Amino acid sequence: QYYKEPFRPQFHFSPEKKWMNDPNGMLFYKGTYHLFYQYYPEDIVWGPMHWGHATSTDLIHWQHKKIALFPDQLGLIFSGSAVMDTYNTSGLGTKENPPMIAVFTYHNMEFEKAGKINTQTQGLAYSLDEGETWTKYQANPIINNTTLRDFRDPKVFWNNDTKLWNLVLVAGDRAQFYTSKNLINWNLESEFGQNKGAHGGVWECPDLFKLKINGTQEEKWVLLVSINPGAPNGGSATQYFVGDFDGKTFTTSQKEIKWVDYGTDNYAGVTYNNAPNGERIFLGWMSNWNYARDTPTTNWRSAMTLPRTLSLSTIKGDYVLQSQPVAQLDKQLSTDFSIEKIKLNKGTNKTFTYSNLNQSKIQFKAENKNLKLVFSNDANDLLVLHYDAQKQTFAIDRRLSGKVNFEKSFGEKIHSTPTPNLITKNIDFLIIMDWSSIEIFLNGGVYSFTEQIFPNQPYTKLTIQSVESQEIKNTTIQSVKRIW
């Protein structure tokens, strides 16, 4: 019975019950990945926010923990981050038992009701038992606000170049960068964003980190900024900027707008602090504010994306952020189905029948040519993916994919994305499908697409339609074991 309700993700993180949105406080410490999240324990729609908590040792299997942070007289607990204060710079623990520190946004409902603008401030809480129990700092808020309507989602990290703490938060149409010696007193150093990037909606959930460019020794800083609305296919999405950061100021020569994921359902994603081996691990909330409250699940709502490893490469002289599912997922796979080569003549199809594609990983290498993939079942649900090599676009059509009528925009349009960076002779397809999601990674995550789907029955057929003659290699379909 457990985790088997209709549409319940079988190998993605979802809360045991009730409403979840953004991932928060992602921190690796002593072999454990902590995941906190925006949580409303009373209903399956958004409400007074808490921080839920879960832990994992492999990023795949999760253990639910007690609620970490509850609203208090200063407000609801909105999104934020967590660090280990290893040298007890805050003085809130000891050197022997350093505090785990969470920095989050307080949203004051009383102020909001009274029509005040300055509803959002930043607060701090600490834990002396590895995240089990939390104490709010007695002199909250640590960053006050008197003038801004939107002022939230602090990401804190240790900057090893400057030996200072950094914090980045968003203030409406821009990001603000702060420094601190002790995680409590913060100095505003600079701002970034006016006239840069996408501004279809307010900026939310920033992150800032350094990555090495694949195959070089060069390092660049990546700034993530979620926006809602204003996504390429409607509603919520996460953009990124590649540039430089000297500990105080972020600069970039980037002109065009770049997105972490081009699907409709990857929002508010941020990365782990202190992940092992210098890895940059990302998790997003697999939903979209356009319909997050309306999806057809019953006693819980929404899930996280698969954890993904981020990397940076150069394509056509420009920086590209790539994302791929973490390698740990491989432990969940069987090798049910594998076929070496498929030759498809122009206009022909090849259909694979498989008991449950909604719990599978599909991989193949295709020529850089026109190709359609159709997922279907006996209920006549159809999910269509179309790579158009001439137009250089990748499209997802979920209009007939199953339940779509719970909200108008969900199944209204084909989601088409320009893919000018797919310049190789062959294209690697990686598709991971859970009961209510599809994640697609092209060429090692040069493009990724994450979308929710609600098929009336699991898809059991995958048809590859060649618009041109085509050779497809290394096809594998593997089932992914459930984690709950």
- Of 301 and 361, the one with the shorter C-beta distance to ligand FRU is 301
- Of 288 and 313, the one with the shorter C-beta distance to ligand FRU is 288
Please give the size of the binding site for ligand FRU, defined by CB under 6 A.
12
- Residues 70-101 as b or e (16 or more Cβ within 10 Å = b): ebeebbbbbbbbbbbbeeebbebbeeeebbbb
**DSSP 3-state assignment of 107?**
strand
- Smallest distance, ligand FRU to C-beta of residue 198, A: 15
Report the site for ligand FRU in 238-267 (rule: CB under 6 A). Answer: none
Contact 61, 51 (CB under 8 A): no
- Smallest distance, ligand FRU to C-beta of residue 411, A: 22
- Of 38 and 90, the one with the shorter C-beta distance to ligand FRU is 38
Choice from 205, 211, 231, 329 touching ligand FRU (CB under 6 A): 205
Report the site for ligand FRU in 78-97 (rule: CB under 6 A). Answer: 78-79
**DSSP 3-state assignment of 38?**
strand
Choice from 10, 14, 21, 311 touching ligand FRU (CB under 6 A): 21
Selection from 308, 299, 300, 343 nearest residue 444 by Cα = 308
Residues marked as catalytic: 22
Cross-strand bridge partners of residue 441:
430, 448
- Smallest distance, ligand FRU to C-beta of residue 268, A: 4
- Of 12 and 50, the one with the shorter C-beta distance to ligand FRU is 50
Report the site for ligand FRU in 163-202 (rule: CB under 6 A). Answer: none
| Position 479 contacts ligand FRU (CB under 6 A) | no
The percent of the chain in helix, strand and coil, each rounded to the nearest 5, is 5, 50, 45
Nearest-10 Cα torsion for 383, 443, 232, 205: 110
Choice from 18, 136, 152, 361 touching ligand FRU (CB under 6 A): 152
**CB-CB neighbours of 280 under 10 Å:** 20
| Position 105 contacts ligand FRU (CB under 6 A) | yes
- Of 46 and 352, the one with the shorter C-beta distance to ligand FRU is 46
What is the rounded distance in angstroms from the CA atom of residue 32 to the CA atom of residue 120? 31
Give me the 52-81 binding string for ligand FRU, x by CB under 6 A, dash otherwise.
Answer: --------------------------xx--
**CB-CB neighbours of 467 under 10 Å:** 17
What is the rounded distance in angstroms from the CA atom of residue 351 to the CA atom of residue 181? 60
- Smallest distance, ligand FRU to C-beta of residue 338, A: 40
What is the rounded distance in angstroms from the CA atom of residue 452 to the CA atom of residue 295? 9
- Smallest distance, ligand FRU to C-beta of residue 153, A: 5
| Position 153 contacts ligand FRU (CB under 6 A) | yes
| Position 237 contacts ligand FRU (CB under 6 A) | no
Choice from 11, 14, 20, 38 touching ligand FRU (CB under 6 A): 38
- Of 21 and 452, the one with the shorter C-beta distance to ligand FRU is 21
Instruction: Identify the residue whose tokens are 């928060």.
Output: 24
Choice from 22, 85, 367, 439 touching ligand FRU (CB under 6 A): 22
Instruction: Identify the residue whose tokens are 């080569």.
Output: 341
- Smallest distance, ligand FRU to C-beta of residue 470, A: 40
Nearest-10 Cα torsion for 434, 271, 120, 236: -40
Report the site for ligand FRU in 265-324 (rule: CB under 6 A). Answer: 268
- Of 45 and 423, the one with the shorter C-beta distance to ligand FRU is 45
| CA distance to 170, 184, 190, 237, per residue, from 122 (Å) | 11, 10, 17, 24
- Given CA atoms 286, 288, 289, 295 in this order, what sign does their dihedral have? negative
Report the site for ligand FRU in 376-405 (rule: CB under 6 A). Answer: none
Choice from 20, 26, 35, 49 touching ligand FRU (CB under 6 A): 49
- Of 75 and 93, the one with the shorter C-beta distance to ligand FRU is 75
- Of 153 and 439, the one with the shorter C-beta distance to ligand FRU is 153
Selection from 302, 301, 430, 428 nearest residue 360 by Cα = 430
- Smallest distance, ligand FRU to C-beta of residue 301, A: 13
- Smallest distance, ligand FRU to C-beta of residue 177, A: 18
18-29 and 300-301: which strand pairing?
parallel
- Smallest distance, ligand FRU to C-beta of residue 226, A: 6
Instruction: Please provide the DSSP assignment of 69-101 as one string.
Output: B--BTTBEEEEEEEEE-TT-TTSSS-SSSPPEE
Residues in contact with ligand FRU by the rule CB under 6 A: 21-22, 38, 49, 78-79, 105, 152-153, 204-205, 268
